[in-house]
Chains A and B, each alone.
Chain A
Amino acid sequence: ETGVTQSPTHLIKTRGQQVTLRCSSQSGHNTVSWYQQALGQGPQFIFQYYREEENGRGNFPPRFSGLQFPNYSSELNVNALELDDSALYLCASSLGQGGNEKLFFGSGTQLSVL
């Protein structure tokens, strides 16, 4: 069974640039969620995708967008990067969208915006 994998592991960008982060779900999982984790804080929900459709969004501006592909892998895109976007970005997969399923997290992408 393959776990959740994210790429790249680390990324350095400058303010104003755009970035794409990628996530491969655990085998058999059809739901992907993205979280932002600032240093010393808990993860904050960005959005969730279920069967290629957005299925819930947190308090993040529209410059945070995503996609889910037919194989259930996913992308997180962030436009017009700001310094405060520096954080660990976590992808989590689960089976179903009932809302109380346990999540399987990847190890994250550490994004630094200079």
Chain B
Amino acid sequence: EDQVTQSPEALRLQEGESSSLNCSYTVSGLRGLFWYRQDPGKGPEFLFTLYSAGEEKEKERLKATLTKKESFLHITAPKPEDSATYLCAGQGGKLIFGQGTELSVKP
């Protein structure tokens, strides 16, 4: 059965303290690995799509990487406005989301 698992469930960082979020996936016929950001009371907002192992994509302080079993979202020198829930999703026959990592960045 296709599965996407994210860790940790919650992460608290000080402003400027870099870290990584993990996404482990088992998705048959993976056609894409997605990262979304979700703010409270809003729908998820697209960040990245990764298609093959070794691929990397960057946007401001965020960098996403992909291996054959995992994806990582690296956050460099985070700011309070980066606080949100980050969702990972694997697209096989359907899009399977992980449960998310709730990131809190304190000034």
Q: Which residues of A contact B (CB under 8 A)?
A: 4, 33, 35, 40-45, 48, 56, 58, 90, 92, 98-100, 102-108
Contact = CB atoms under 8 A, between A and B. Distances in A.
A102 B36 CA distance: 10
B53 to A, nearest CB: 16
Given A33-B95, A43-B87, A100-B49, 13 more contacts: A35-B97, A40-B100, A41-B99, A42-B89, A42-B97, A42-B100, A45-B94, A56-B93, A56-B94, A90-B44, A102-B46, A105-B44, A108-B43
Max chain A CB contacts within 10 Å: which of B44, B93, B97? B44
Interface of B: 4, 6, 31-32, 34, 36, 41-46, 49, 51, 87, 89, 91, 93-100
Contacts, number: 56
Nearest to A33: B95
A50 B58 CA distance: 31
Q: Is the interface of B mostly helix, strand, loop or mixed?
A: strand
Nearest to B89: A42
